[in-house]
Amino acid sequence: MRARGAGALPDQDPAAVRRECAPDCPGRPGTPAPPGRFLARAAAVTALLTAAGSLCGLLRDQMLAQLFGAGRDTDAFLVAWTVPETAATLLIEDAMALLLIPAFGHALAARAAAADEARTWPADDARAWPADARDPVRTLLAATLPRLLGALACGSALLALGAPVVVRLLAPGLPDPAPAVACTRLTALTVLTFGTAGYLGAALRAHRSFAAPAAIYVAYNAGILGTTLALHSAWGVRAAAAGVAFGGVLMVLVQLPACVRQLPLHVRQLPTGVRQLPGHVWQLPGCVRRLPGRDGRLRRAIRPRTSRPPLLGLGLLAPVVCFTLSRQSQVLVERFLGSSLPAGALSHLNYAQKVAQLPMVLSLMLCTVTFPVVARAVADGETARAGRRVERDLTLAGLVVLLGGAYVGACAPQIVALLFQRGAFTAADTAATASVLRVYALGLFGHSLVGALIRPFFAAARPTWYPAAAMAGGLLITVVAGAYAVRWWGAHGIVAANAAGITVTALLLLHGLGARVPALDLRRVAAGLGRLVLAAAVAGAVGGPLAATVAAPLPGAAAGALLVPAVFAGTALAVRAPEARQLLLAVRAFEVRRLLLAVKGKLAHVR
C-alpha cells in the first residue's frame, strides 16, 4: 500500500517529477514548447482578451455617459470608483504581481532543482522522500493565501465603515457627499475580491497560464454592465457601484477552474513505488545521504535544494506598496484638485483618462507576458537573458504607446464624439473631454515606461527602495505643479502636471535600471526611444489637421487611423529608428512565408 505524505511532490516517478517541474512547460507536462513560440501565443491570447476587456470597458463608459451624463451623480460615483481603481493597481496590476510572480518563480525553481536531483538517482536504487519534504509551490500557497484573505476581508470591512471619512478626504469639495458615501460602501468589497483575483492571477502567470488572468476585466466589466442596466432605474448611480462589487466577484470566479488545474491546492499521493521514511527526517537543504530502511538496505533520501520559498515579509512588501500607492496617488491628486472645479470636471477627466489608457494597456501586454520569464531567468541566475528581454520589451512598449498616443492626440474630438456623445453626454462635454484628452496624450509615454521599467526592478524578489523614491519625486512634481496650474488652466493644468511628474519618474527609473541590469544597453535604448518620440510628434502634428478636415466622427477617426500610422512609419524610417525597421522586416517575412505556404498548397493541389 502506498503511503500518503503531507504535501509530497505530486508525480508518479522521478521522470514524471522532472516533467512537471520543467521550467518551460506551458502545456502538457513533458512537452515544452519553444520559448519564442510560446511567448507569441501567450501574447496573442493576452492581447485578444485584453482588447475584449477594453471594449467592454468602453461599453461601460458609454453606458454611464448615456445614463448619468457628466453631472453631480457621476462625480459622486467616480469618487467611490477611486477605491476599485486603487485596489486594481495595488492588488492586481502592480504590487501583487511584483511580489508574487518572483516568489512563485523561486518556488518553481526549487521544484525544478528537486527534479534535477532526482535525475541523478541510479535506476536500481530505492528512493524515498522524507516526511517533511514538501512541494515549494504548495508551501508558498499555504503560507500566504490564508493570511492574505483574512487581511483583505478586514480591509473591506474597515473601508465600508469609514466611507464618510474616505469621501471627505478624497473630495472635500463635493456639495452633497451622501451619494458618494453610499457608492463607496458598495465598492469596498473590491478590496477583498480584487486582492484574491490578483493573487490567483499572479500564481497562474508564474505557471505560464495567461488566458484566465487576462479574462478578468471582461468578467468585471460584464458584471458592471449587467447590474447597472438591471438596477439603474431603481437605484440610480448606486447601481453602477453595485455592478463594480459584483464584477469583482466574477474576476475571482473566472480564474478558479484554471487554479484548480494548475496549482497544488490539495495533498497528493507520494510517487509510485516510493515509501515514506519512518519518523521525521531532519536534513540540511540539498543534503543527500543514505538511510537504513526497514529491510536493512540503504535507501537514498533527498530534499529539494530550496524547500523554503522566499519570504514575503515587510522588507520586501514595503518598497512595492510604497511605489504602487505613490503611483496611484496621481489619480487621487487629480480627484482632490478637480473636486473644487465646476460640476462635471471630474467626469471629463475620467472619460479622457479611460480613452488615454487604451494605448498604454496595449503597450504593456507583452511586458505582462514576459515578466514571469524575466523573474524565472533572474531566479536561475541568467541575468544576461533577462537584460536582453527587458531591452526588447522597452522598445516594443515605446513603439506601441507612442503610435497610440499620436493617434489619440490627433483625433481626440472624433474619438470622444464617436464613443460618448449620446444621451446625457452633450457636444459641450465632448469638446471639454477632447481638450483634456490631448493633454493626457503627452503623458502616455511616461506612464507606459514606468509600467515596463518597474518589473525588472522587482524581478529578483529583493527589496529595493529606488522605484519608490523615483515615484515619490514624480508625485511631488505632480502635487506642486497641479496646485498652481489648476488655478489658471483648470482640468488641463491638473493633467499637464500629471504628465510632467510621471515623465520625470520614467527618466529616473530608466537611469537607475541601467546600473542594475548590466546586459541592458541604456544608451541604445534611449536613442531608439528618442527617435520614436520624434516620429510620434510629427505624426500627431501632421495627422491631426488632416483628420480634422473630415467633419463626421466615424470617417474622421477612420481617416486618422490611416494617416497617423503612415506618417509615424515614414518618419521613423526616415530617422532610422531600428524598431520600425525590425517591425517592417517582420511584416515582410510574414508576408513571404504566407505566400510560400499558398504556393505550396497550390502545387500540392495540382499533384
Q: Are 17 and 271 in contact (CB under 8 A)?
A: yes
What strand order describes the sheet that includes 298-301?
A: 127-128, 298-301, 289-292
Q: Which pLDDT score, from 0 to 100, does residue 584 have?
A: 55
**What tens digit of pLDDT does each residue of 149-207 get?**
999 999 999 999 999 998 888 878 777 888 889 999 999 999 999 999 999 998 898 88
Residue 177 phi/psi, 5-degree rounding, is: -80, -5
pLDDT for the residue numbered 355: 87
Tell me the three state secondary structure of residue 129: coil
In the chain, % helix, strand, coil (3-state, to 5) comes to 75, 0, 25
Mean pLDDT by 10 residues, the chain (607 residues): 36 39 39 55 79 84 81 81 82 79 79 63 46 67 88 93 89 82 92 93 87 91 93 89 94 92 62 37 36 42 41 65 83 80 81 85 76 72 75 85 92 89 84 91 91 79 80 93 89 92 92 72 83 91 83 86 90 78 52 48 44
| CB-CB contact of 491 with 341 (8 Å) | yes
Q: For 432-466, write each residue's pLDDT tens digit.
A: 999 999 999 999 999 998 988 887 787 765 667 88
Those residues with Cβ within 8 angstroms of residue 472's Cβ, 6 or more apart along the chain or in another chain: 322, 326
Q: Can you tell me which residue has the cell 462625480?
A: 75
The whole-number pLDDT of residue 407 equals: 93
What pLDDT shows up at residue 518? Answer: 62
